[in-house]
Amino acid sequence: MYKVLVTDGISQTGLKCLVDHANFIVERQPTLPTDELKRIIGDYDALIVRSQTKVTGELLEAAGRLRVIARAGVGVDNIDVNAATKKGIIVINAPGANTIAATEHTLAMMLAMARKIPQAHQKTSGGEWDRNSFKGVELYKKTLGVVGMGKIGTEVAKRAKGFGMNILGFDPYLTEDRAKKLGITKASLDLIAAEADFITIHTPLTNDTRGIINDEFLSKTKKGVRFVNCARGGIIDEKALVRAIQSGHVAGAALDVFEKEPVGDPELLQNPNIIVTPHLGASTVEAQEKVAEEVSAEIVEIFENQSIQHAVNMPQMSGETQAKLQPYLVLGDQVGQLVIQLLKNSAPTKIEINYYGDLIDEDTELLTRTMLRGVLSYHLSDSVNLINVLHLLKEQGVSYNVQKNATNKGFANYLELSVSQGDETARIGATVLNGYGARIVKINQYRIDVKPEKYLLYIKHQDVPGMIGKVGSLLGDYQINIGTMQVGRTEVGGEAIMVLTLDKTLGTEVSRELVQIPGLDEAQFLELSNVDTFEAGRVEPQAVESV
């Protein structure tokens, strides 16, 4: 049974798939202070939060069995993702589930600000009938600057066009082509400053975006400009905004998010030209059900099916790319496991990964991590996973280098992994053959052709007649059936290798007898831990057990 702790008032309806699942126990708590949460977190396998719960590094120290932190929403700024990564805890979110809610809130705020609705409501509900103080402005034919043309920015732009606004979009990822398709203008921040009547912010809060709307930017804007921020507090410098409103340069602001939440600054709260909501962008019935549904379903997938979709601390890739890469992920893990065994189980200090052929056009980050995890898992077993593998390499002082090569090494796709310690290097080259599946095609300097199987025997010997027969009959004496056998050599009569796939494990006695065969220099039994357990489209179980 997996125990899931839910805080921050997550929608009960959205949690249904977890609550109804026989393998999960769901416990709810209100938003807890860190020390109280710290007392109980050790009992849970997964934690679901919105933005109020602070998931700090200190809290995670006490989270002995936590494997997943789920953010029922988008922003993960309340979660110490680095600390989670170091501990191999996966952090997931629900990136698109509250897009419409935040979009509609943005438009509601823009209209409410333009027509002074909150101010008018306050006076009218207080018994006054004041038809003179609340003359607004129209959106029609005005220019809207959208800073951040991601999911929400794009939806805001589409809807604002419906009001007859001209849209200027600023985003490093906005191409001319996409802007054209959306019917908007790709703009610089300066152009937005110079031309916009309304400016709405839809970026995350990062080092780049913190204070992006500051005194300097404001000084370049048109007199009478109005701002909306339903993204993150801190992107607009609040003090600078208040100054610009007080001076009469900026006509108004509509803020849902603040540098410090809950906001207490009277200069913001009592300014007649600033309207505020308490971080309500995602607070619709629909969005709250959807975010909870999405993270609940993903938690089930992670624990039951080892499938991860929206990890914040793992490389993201489309389903199509993942399906394409799946055979390589399986092979990469096996190559990692084998190469470290070939290094006679010493810990490596240097790892080199080379990609050739079709692989150089793919996003190979996940494949790289898979190989590295395969290598490290030999010594670190379950404590290494795809989340923390890079951190662990650094911690262990292992350098790694990844190279993509334009040459093709005779295969349509080819990957080579070498691990070294001092002067010792072990190397494996592998490929996925169209229609035939994965093959190990190189071990150290020898060319071979071996389908990776659970039990392998790697033998180094002199290239003399009779070796194959001697090895075969000794294994036969011990009732060890040979599946396949491959030999490789660099020159006739020199050193050679033999790689056998076996139907069962090799005992120490037979290993001892093997190396007594004259001309046989070395026999090494290699074992793969996950050969029969991979499934297409899934992260393999060994990884997830330790996630």
Ligand X SMILES: O=C(O)[C@H](O)COP(=O)(O)O
Ligand Y SMILES: NC(=O)c1ccc[n+]([C@@H]2O[C@H](COP(=O)([O-])OP(=O)(O)OC[C@H]3O[C@@H](n4cnc5c(N)ncnc54)[C@H](O)[C@@H]3O)[C@@H](O)[C@H]2O)c1
* 233 contact choice in ligand Y, ligand X, none (CB below 5 to 8 Å, kind-dependent): none
> Total residues at the site for ligand X (CB under 6 A)?
10
- Phi then psi dihedrals of residue 446, to 5 deg: -95, 135
Minimum separation from the CB atom of position 167 to ligand Y (A) = 14
Minimum separation from the CB atom of position 279 to ligand Y (A) = 5
Annotated catalytic residue: which of 67, 71, 202, 279?
279
* 50 contact choice in ligand X, ligand Y, none (CB below 5 to 8 Å, kind-dependent): ligand X
Please say which residue, 152 or 539, places its beta carbon nearer to ligand Y: 152
Task: Please spell the DSSP secondary structure of 57-120, one letter per residue.
Answer: HHHHHT-TT--EEEESSS--TTB-HHHHHHTT-EEEE-TTTTHHHHHHHHHHHHHHHHTTHHHH
If one asks whether residue 150 binds ligand Y (CB under 6 A), the answer comes out as yes
226 is catalytic: no
Separation CA 328–CA 1 (nearest Å) = 32
Would you tell me the crossing angle of helices 285-300 and 99-114 to the nearest 10 degrees? 160
Minimum separation from the CB atom of position 51 to ligand Y (A) = 8
If one asks whether residue 356 binds ligand Y (CB under 6 A), the answer comes out as no
Site for ligand X in 27-56 (CB under 6 A): 50-51
Residue whose C-alpha is closest to residue 297's, from 70, 79, 534: 70
Instruction: Report the residue closest to ligand Y, judged by CB.
Output: 150
- Three-state DSSP class for residue 494: coil
Separation CA 2–CA 18 (nearest Å) = 10
* 302 contact choice in ligand X, ligand Y, none (CB below 5 to 8 Å, kind-dependent): none
The residue within the footprint of ligand Y, chosen from 10, 94, 241, 257 (CB under 6 A), is 257
The residue within the footprint of ligand Y, chosen from 8, 197, 256, 298 (CB under 6 A), is 256
Minimum separation from the CB atom of position 274 to ligand Y (A) = 16
Q: Does the CA dihedral 84-85-87-92 come out positive or negative?
A: positive
Minimum separation from the CB atom of position 314 to ligand Y (A) = 16
Neighbours of 189 (CB within 10 A): 16
* 539 contact choice in ligand X, ligand Y, none (CB below 5 to 8 Å, kind-dependent): none
Please say which residue, 310 or 442, places its beta carbon nearer to ligand Y: 310
Structure tokens given for 25: 């126990």
Minimum separation from the CB atom of position 357 to ligand Y (A) = 32
Cβ-based neighbours of 248, under 8 Å, separated by 6 or more: 223
Site for ligand Y in 88-147 (CB under 6 A): 98-99, 102, 147
Separation CA 420–CA 339 (nearest Å) = 10
Q: Which helix (H) or strand (E) holds 514?
A: helix 508-514
Separation CA 242–CA 430 (nearest Å) = 62
If one asks whether residue 281 binds ligand X (CB under 6 A), the answer comes out as yes
Q: Which helix (H) or strand (E) holds 294?
A: helix 285-300
If one asks whether residue 209 binds ligand Y (CB under 6 A), the answer comes out as yes
If one asks whether residue 170 binds ligand Y (CB under 6 A), the answer comes out as yes
**If you ran DSSP here, which 8-state letter would residue 43 be given?**
G
Site for ligand X in 167-226 (CB under 6 A): none
If one asks whether residue 149 binds ligand Y (CB under 6 A), the answer comes out as yes
232 is catalytic: yes
CB 403 within 8 A of CB 441: no
- Residues near ligand Y (CB under 6 A) are 74-75, 98-99, 102, 147-153, 170-173, 202-204, 206, 208-209, 230-232, 256-257, 279, 281-282
Residues with catalytic roles: 232, 261, 279
- Residues near ligand X (CB under 6 A) are 50-51, 73-75, 98, 279, 281-283
